[in-house]
Structure 1
Amino acid sequence: MRIRGGQGHRADESVDVEVDDSDVRSAQGRGAARKSHGRGRFRRTRRDETHPPALRRRIALWSLIVVVVLVLVAGVAWFTPVLSVRTVEIRGLRAVPEEQVREVLRIPEGISMLRIDTDAVAQRVAGLPKVRSARVQRVFPATVRVTVDERTPVLFFDGPEGAHLLDGDSVEFAIEPPPPGVPKLTTDHPGSNDPVTRAAVAVLASVPAALRPQVGEVVARTVSDIALTLTDGRTVVWGGPGDSGRKAAVVLPVLTRPGTVFDVSSPDLVTVR
């Protein structure tokens, strides 16, 4: 810094002062560095005081103890009879014999609950012809719960071996006498893979619930030519599965009219004869 002037100058005369900017910036830099360094030392000191070495060692020791205990508990539960299966509970059975389900479960006696492959067990149960799906759950401490959803027959067709039962998915799942109230399917090539059979199942599913018990036979000539024969001898010409919502809305009012054949295949032009 240089100051120009002298004692001989009058009070009203100006004095020029020149300051070297580099000196000021250098001083400011050194001050900021000291302040930053001080803050860094303060942070490190506070961090060290918060987690001193002894405390960190205790935390690590207790973490190790917890891990060891968990491993021991898991080993005991996995390899010993502490959590072994003591009860197998089966729900949802109506037509499937319980002994048949227990035979395919194949759950070893005394096995740990944790070692049961619930997906594999459920697949084995669902493989039974009359079972639509199955769910297997662990109910601790010692119960395995099996919930079965059985197939329900909606139609049957006659074959050389007897009556073939079809469910709502058009799956042929049994050959046995049909339950009371299940309609008969009459078509040229009945079966799960037959498009006409699947169309007939779809039509029956669209029939109003109040009318369904009155259906004694479903006659399916093609996928678009399906008729329902009622138990009182009347016939409802349904057509195909298309537009079944509107057909279902008009069929009950139409059946109140006198007649024997009620054609709702075109719901905009219903005919009765």
Structure 2
Amino acid sequence: MSADRRSGRSERAGRPGRAGAERSARPGTRRQARPDQAREARVDEPGQGAERDRDGRQDQRRPADSAAKAGPAPKKSRRTRRPKVRRVRNRKPILLTALAVVVVVGLGVAAWFTPVLSARKITVVGNVGVSSDEILSALAVPVGKPLLRIDTGAAAQRVASIAKVDHARVERAYPSTVRVTVVERAPAVFYDAPEGTHLMDASGVAYAIEPAPPGVPRLKTEHPGRDDPATVDALAAVTALPPELRGQVTEVAVGSLDDIRLALTDDRQLIWGSAANSARKAAIAPPLLSQPGKVYDVSSPDLPTIR
């Protein structure tokens, strides 16, 4: 019995196994893989993360290993982060501008209503023939009114409406002063009328009825006035004279537009002619008057004469 078992065991040992017999009996045929091996083979197929090494064996790596081999994910470039930085930077000027506007508006509202920046003092300069009380009355700016609420242009026009005032300027002097600067009219000539002596400035405005100051010549014409051509030409002749010669003129008589005569002190006479070339006539008159004579004619400035 034991001999048979030994003989059977030896017989089995001497026979080739089934797997070996099958491989030798069917050369070239593939052995059927187990289900678990089939899953591994499908995972390791080309295109699914499988790679082969130099010996032809597949490098069975998991997708995570391939991702690790590829390296870490690239960081976002500066260009992708730059728009956010720019948006933050672009908001800063807008916020600062809005804050500045709020501050300015707040200060303006405070200055508009607060009594701190109000008119507590009014100064008047430049007035000689016009009293300060008359100017303040025309100014019509009450004490205590906020400076920003004062219309300086309108106030200046009210002051300039005074007959003796040529023009005026009204300024705010912070924190609490209003300054009024006045330029009065100066008489260039005077003329007599039934109601009295009228003073007339260089622009032909008759602004006062009062005695003429010394050195102001009398105007003799039929219709003295700002719109009278004879008056306009007479004023052009007088205002063209240098100050030292103008003080010697006692009368300006206009017979016609081409016949203007200036009466001088010491009974001398300066024949002016028309108002044309008044600047040139005024330039040659002083040296001509330095010579002896009674009548000096500059009506033709190229040929002045003395009689």
TM-score if structure 2 supplies the norm length?
0.70
Q: How does 1:1-273 map to 2 (within 5 A)?
A: 42-52=78-88, 56=91, 65-273=99-307
Larger radius of gyration: 2
Name the CA distance, whole Å, in 1 between partners of 2:105 and 2:233. Answer: 57
Where in structure 1 are there 5+ consecutive unaligned residues? 1-37
Name the CA distance, whole Å, in 2 between partners of 1:67 and 1:272. Answer: 75
Q: Which of structure 1's runs of 4+ aligned residues deviate more than 4 A?
A: 50-53, 58-66
Instruction: Give per-residue Cα distances to partners, 1:168-220, cap 9 Å, x unaligned.
Output: 11111111111111111111111122110111011001122221111111111
Name the CA distance, whole Å, in 1 between partners of 2:292 and 2:102. Answer: 83
Instruction: Give per-residue Cα distances to partners, 1:89-111, cap 9 Å, x unaligned.
Output: 11111111111100011112211
Where in structure 2 are there 5+ consecutive unaligned residues? 1-73
Instruction: Give per-residue Cα distances to partners, 1:43-65, cap 9 Å, x unaligned.
Output: 34123135549x95x87666555
Question: Following TM superposition, by how much is the alpha carbon of 1:249 offset from its aligned partner in structure 2, in angstroms?
Answer: 2.3
Write the letter of the residue equivalent to 2:232.
R
Name the CA distance, whole Å, in 2 between partners of 1:198 and 1:59. Answer: 62
Report the 3-state secondary structure (helix = DSSP H, G, I; strand = E; otherwise coil) of the residue aligned with 1:141: coil
Name the CA distance, whole Å, in 2 between partners of 1:114 and 1:217. Answer: 50
Q: Percent identity?
A: 48
Number of residue pairs matched by the alignment: 233
Name the CA distance, whole Å, in 2 between partners of 1:154 and 1:104. Answer: 26
**Aligned 8 A contact 1:76 1:82 in 2:** no
Name the CA distance, whole Å, in 1 between partners of 2:245 and 2:259. Answer: 19
Give the CA RMSD over aligned residues: 2.3
Which has a greater percent of strand?
1
Match of 1:11 in 2: none
Name the CA distance, whole Å, in 2 between partners of 1:71 and 1:258. Answer: 75
For the structure 1 residues 167 and 63, does the alpha-carbon distance in structure 2 shift closer, same or farther, using more than 3 Å as the test?
Answer: closer
Write the letter of the residue equivalent to 2:214.
P
**Aligned 8 A contact 2:236 2:278 in 1:** no
Instruction: Give per-residue Cα distances to partners, 1:2-33, cap 9 Å, x unaligned.
Output: xxxxxxxxxxxxxxxxxxxxxxxxxxxxxxxx
Which structure carries more relative contact order (alpha carbon 8 Å, separation 6+)?
1
Report the 3-state secondary structure (helix = DSSP H, G, I; strand = E; otherwise coil) of the residue aligned with 1:70: helix
Report the 3-state secondary structure (helix = DSSP H, G, I; strand = E; otherwise coil) of the residue aligned with 1:232: helix
For the structure 1 residues 66 and 232, does the alpha-carbon distance in structure 2 shift closer, same or farther, using more than 3 Å as the test?
Answer: same
Name the CA distance, whole Å, in 1 between partners of 2:96 and 2:294. Answer: 86
TM-score if structure 1 supplies the norm length?
0.79
Name the CA distance, whole Å, in 1 between partners of 2:264 and 2:94. Answer: 79
Write the letter of the residue equivalent to 1:215.
V
Question: Following TM superposition, by how much is the alpha carbon of 1:42 offset from its aligned partner in structure 2, in angstroms?
Answer: 3.7
Question: Following TM superposition, by how much is the alpha carbon of 1:245 offset from its aligned partner in structure 2, in angstroms?
Answer: 2.2
- Of 68-77 and 187-196, deviating more is 68-77
Report the 3-state secondary structure (helix = DSSP H, G, I; strand = E; otherwise coil) of the residue aligned with 1:153: coil
